[in-house]
Structure 1
């Protein structure tokens, strides 16, 4: 089951700020409803990765954030209220402090992690991959917590090359960050195996 569109109207950040229900992301003016309560595996993975990143980046210029936080992706230099793409990645890293303001982040993060779930998998793997590539996100990670698979896209010459697909085990370095890697073994002991989910 894919994500539901709010309607067929074209929306921008000015509209989004007035919605009482903020479980939406905007992509090119289309409002996609996001699940309000991620499952336990999703929360475990996002929380653990964020905790590791926050610890590893302490005292450094790059900063880690976890959803919900608005990431506005302008097409040019339009005012905030006119921006028609606003997403909330699960975990992200921003290295340019000029992109940070009281509303969240304006401009592409350097690194993004999305935790896949059945309702968002195609959205994250296709629509958001294309979006992040277009806006210059340098590294994009997709984790399938049940299958224990990590897919990594790295920006080269403005495009994501062939994906690197890894088993979640041991540790995985974040190539755009010096001496930062994510350790999986402790996290995996808290996640159900594929057999437990059948």
Structure 2
């Protein structure tokens, strides 16, 4: 009788949201579930990243709070049993509040925002773009790590199209989110220069 090698008998199964949710809570350690595989999010975001995120959330809240829930990371966006992402910022129209549960956002939000960090460029601009596109998130913004520009991707049929790149004093606008009204300079004007 032929003996099987151990690697032939071990079956690797994709993890599910339930497996992900059962992970021990370790301070400073965050994961995303990418097609059933855990992906460690390290290192933690930089100070500038967090200031850009907070300032953008503040500006969005000033003009969009009446119509949208505006949430920030860490917040699970559960796109399938095998796909859980944590965008930096999330907007959900209040008419769709049913997708917000105690577990997180269960389904595609109206907008997700990723603020790049040196270690997240490929994950955000390739991996997350493909995921958000696949699960039908209508609009996706990528903010450059220093906050100097914002790329606006809009879902056209089933593919994202880069429709605008906003810089400086150009008003950031969205046909889908008419309440949006800020500039990249509005964000940068409140962020101090930080020592290296």
Q: TM bucket by the smaller chain?
A: 0.7 to 0.9
Alpha-carbon distance, 1:165 to partner: 2.7
In structure 2, the residue matched to 1:105 is 105
TM-score (norm 2): 0.82
Output aligned runs, 1:156-167, within 5 Å: 156-162=156-162, 164-167=164-167
Could you tell me whether the CA contact under 8 Å between 1:143 and 1:149 is conserved in 2? Answer: yes
CA deviation after TM superposition for structure 1 residue 9, in Å: 5.7
Residue 153 of structure 2 corresponds to residue 149 of structure 1 = no
- SS of the residue aligned with 1:181? coil
Q: Which residue of 2 aligns with 1:49?
A: 56
Partner of 2:71: 65
Q: 1:35 to 1:175 in 2, by over 3 A?
A: farther
Q: Which structure has the larger Rg over C-alpha atoms?
A: 2
Deviation at 1:18, TM superposition (A): 1.4
Give SS of 1:171's match: coil
Partner of 1:30: 37
CA RMSD of aligned residues (A): 2.1
* Inter-partner Cα distance in structure 1 for 2:39 and 2:129: 15
Q: Counterpart in 2 of 1:87?
A: 85
Per the TM alignment, residue 180 of structure 1 is displaced from its structure 2 partner at its CA by 1.8
What is the CA–CA distance in structure 1 between the aligned matches of 2:91 and 2:147, rounded to whole Å?
A: 25
After superposition, the C-alpha distances for 1:39-82 in whole angstroms (9 at most, x for unaligned) are 1110011111111222222332x2111011111002xxxxxxxx
5+ residue gaps, structure 1: 1-7, 75-82
Q: What are structure 2's unaligned runs of at least 5 residues? A: 1-11
Q: Distance in 2 between matches of 1:37 and 1:169?
A: 30
Deviations, residues 136-161 of structure 1 (Å, cap 9, x unaligned): 11111101132712211111112112
Equivalent position SS for 2:65: coil
